[in-house]
Structure 1
Amino acid sequence: MAVLGTGYFWRIVFPLLGPVTASMVVLNGLGIWNDFLMPMLVLTSGQAKTMVVEIYRYIGEFFSRWDMIFAGTAMSVVPVLIVFITLQKHFVRGIASGATKG
């Protein structure tokens, strides 16, 4: 039984992993980016926090700073959009390869 060379992997398997890898990067990254509970509980008040926790600081019981909330939300969406737009071609290629036969 012959051992498959690494050329087969790089020419056949690796190009097929692109859409899957792009999907997992976006989905896992989005979950990490929007994590609220662990940074809120673990990080102390003097440390840097995630965007979601910092936005939460502007929500009070009787008063909320809506201008800061909307600005922070807009700023936190920009990196996610950049990653999605960068990896969008891999999504389309994965959908197209799964939709056609052959």
Structure 2
Amino acid sequence: MSIPITLEFSGGAELLFDRQKRHDIDLPKQENPWRIQELLPWIRDNILKERPELFMQGNTVRPGILVLVNDTDWELMGELEYNLQPNDRIIFISTLHGG
């Protein structure tokens, strides 16, 4: 069974995703639970449209991108180790602004 989740991008992060702020996706079934650690490369490979270096650094999001899991800071949820649940809402907010 696939896992339906919602991804949202704002604060300028949506510009990397063809200006689309919301993505309702179904993650394919896999043997182990989906974690944010696996979600980030999936996002990069499947829906990111340009400049992956502005979204990811190494195996995590770049500094300056706030990540919320169901409106809670991901730091309180285990960050990369958080196991995704059906209907989770993951929000990426860029706090970096050019000047």
Computing the radius of gyration from Cα coordinates, the structure with the larger value is 1
Asked if these proteins are the same fold (TM beyond 0.5), I'd say no
TM-score with structure 2 setting the length: 0.23
Ranked by relative contact order (alpha carbons within 8 Å, sequence separation 6 or more), the top structure is 2
